[in-house]
């Protein structure tokens, strides 16, 4: 059975306080001094884990109790921390903010599930003595949570730091780090929040080095490791994996590259366990789908940013359209849906779906659960699904293959046939081996191309 390594959760008082800067900087700084560091992220995010992977040199995992079920979070954390001597988990939103439907899915809930101490990031730019009230409130709000220390971000000066330390001393929560207001970190934070690693160039690695150095200078790394080691030893179960399907292995094309970087590592591993031989390709560069593939997985990303380049790759778009018509088994999520459309913001896409797509200024965001309304590669009509939406685009028509509901939205969406499912829904497959097996089985049933 896996054992969780020494671990800590980096939480924030609210969104935008610098959680990603602190968590990723700690990962990079600890690695630089010789630790085997692993990273994980609370919530459904794809972008922050990309930076964690760059900082640690290994995949970061998503710990999302809503998507996978709370009971699976310790096992996923065990997979994330396998072989590491410290696991740094970045929180989401404010420490106690959750899904809104009662699921124990907040950063605090994950910390409790992992028996992990918490390091609280406080944006101190406009505070002095009031910081003590904030930290005291977070330390006492939920007795299940153990606050092991504070990192003060956006500190203005030595005098400001002295005031903050004096105010916090009676609270009894150690200050593990102080980060000055720094334009280099503002740039890092902006990039971390908006731009996937796959889109970056050499400046991304150099920026990570700067971040590691700044965090190492501003934080007591020995005290941070000490906090991580203060947690109890925890044995966790293995993540359940699907059994290989009859007829496997089967080659399945996997969209990758700058435009399609949103794929959970756990999904890749689940598909592989079920018998998929995943063959990466880049929709911006490759002239055709990989040879011998009977299926296609096109996940999310930012195809709208690269719409011109995608449109110019006409030979691949023609090949995809032809192959879909011929019965290629397809699972497309969000960006993959846009790529399969007839056009995106007036630029031609694959035309495998009779829809047009366009970007808007309205964000659609939230967890969704529901059922398929027609047969699809995931199973027969009525197959249950759970996932997350995050997009500014719309398709016309919207489709009706999935009947979804959530706290912040509901309705029909998506497109499906017995060999295709394309929607905005991102699904985490660690808890759904049945969906994985159904999709891989559908691929094995396709005649060789």
CA 323 to chain centre: 30
Give 131's contacts (C-beta < 8 A, 6+ positions apart). 122, 124, 152, 164, 167, 168
Closest CA to 262 of 438, 428, 434, 436: 428
In this structure, what token pair is assigned to residue 119? 């390091």
Spatial contact of 189 and 211, defined as CB atoms under 8 Å apart:
no
User: How far apart, in whole angstroms, are the C-alpha atoms of residue 313 and residue 324?
Assistant: 17
Single out the catalytic residue among 219, 293, 334, 443.
Answer: 334
Find the distance separating the first CA and the last CA of the chain, reported in whole Å.
42
Spatial contact of 197 and 29, defined as CB atoms under 8 Å apart:
no
In this structure, what token pair is assigned to residue 36? 């085997």
Gyration radius from the chain CA atoms:
23
Residues in the chain, overall count: 449
User: How far apart, in whole angstroms, are the C-alpha atoms of residue 443 and residue 390?
Assistant: 28
In this structure, what token pair is assigned to residue 362? 């309205």
Angle CA(125)–CA(131)–CA(132) in degrees, nearest 5?
A: 165
The answer to whether the peptide bond before residue 28 is cis (omega within 30 degrees of 0) is no
Active site residue 443: no
The answer to whether the peptide bond before residue 249 is cis (omega within 30 degrees of 0) is yes
Closest CA to 211 of 32, 57, 62, 90: 32
Closest CA to 97 of 84, 107, 85: 107
Residue 3 phi/psi, 5-degree rounding, is -120, 130
Name the residues annotated as catalytic.
Answer: 334
């Amino acid at each position: 059975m896996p054992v969780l390594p020494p671990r800590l959760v980096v939480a924030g008082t609210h969104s935008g306080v610098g959680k990603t800067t602190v968590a990723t900087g700690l990962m990079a700084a600890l690695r630089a001094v010789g630790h085997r560091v692993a990273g994980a992220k609370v919530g459904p995010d794809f972008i922050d884990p990309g930076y964690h992977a760059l900082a640690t040199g290994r995949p970061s995992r998503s710990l999302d109790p809503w998507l996978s079920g709370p009971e699976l979070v310790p096992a996923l954390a065990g997979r994330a921390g396998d072989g590491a001597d410290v696991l740094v988990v970045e929180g989401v939103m404010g420490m106690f903010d959750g899904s809104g439907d009662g699921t124990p899915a907040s950063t605090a809930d994950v910390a409790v599930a992992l028996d992990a101490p918490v390091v609280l990031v406080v944006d101190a730019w406009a505070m002095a003595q009031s910081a003590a009230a904030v930290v005291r409130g977070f330390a006492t709000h939920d007795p299940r949570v153990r606050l092991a220390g504070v990192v003060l971000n956006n500190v203005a000066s030595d005098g400001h730091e002295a005031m903050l330390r004096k105010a916090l001393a009676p609270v009894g929560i150690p200050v593990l780090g102080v980060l000055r207001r720094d334009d280099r970190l503002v740039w890092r934070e902006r990039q971390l929040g908006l731009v996937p690693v796959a889109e970056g160039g050499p400046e991304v690695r150099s920026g990570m080095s700067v971040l590691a150095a700044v965090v190492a200078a501003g934080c007591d790394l020995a005290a941070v490791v000490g906090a991580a080691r203060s947690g109890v030893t925890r044995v966790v179960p293995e993540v359940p994996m699907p059994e290989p399907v009859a007829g496997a292995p089967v080659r399945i094309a996997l969209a990758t590259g700058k435009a399609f970087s949103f794929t959970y590592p756990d999904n890749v591993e689940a598909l592989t366990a079920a018998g998929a031989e995943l063959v990466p390709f880049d929709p911006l560069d490759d002239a055709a789908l990989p040879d011998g593939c009977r299926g296609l997985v096109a996940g999310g990303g930012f195809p709208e940013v690269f719409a011109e380049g995608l449109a110019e790759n006409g030979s691949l778009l023609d090949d995809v359209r032809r192959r879909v018509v011929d019965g290629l088994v397809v699972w497309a999520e969000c960006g993959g849906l846009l790529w399969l459309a007839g056009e995106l913001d007036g630029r031609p896409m694959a035309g495998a779906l009779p829809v047009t797509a366009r970007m808007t200024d309205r964000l659609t965001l939230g967890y969704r659960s529901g059922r398929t309304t027609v047969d699809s590669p995931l199973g027969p009509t009525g197959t249950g699904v759970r996932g997350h939406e995050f997009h500014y685009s719309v398709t016309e028509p919207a489709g009706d293959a999935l009947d979804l509901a959530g706290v912040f939205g509901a309705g029909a969406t998506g497109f499906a046939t017995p060999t295709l499912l394309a929607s905005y829904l991102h699904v985490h497959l660690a808890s759904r081996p049945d969906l994985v097996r159904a999709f891989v089985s559908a691929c094995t049933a396709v005649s060789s191309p």
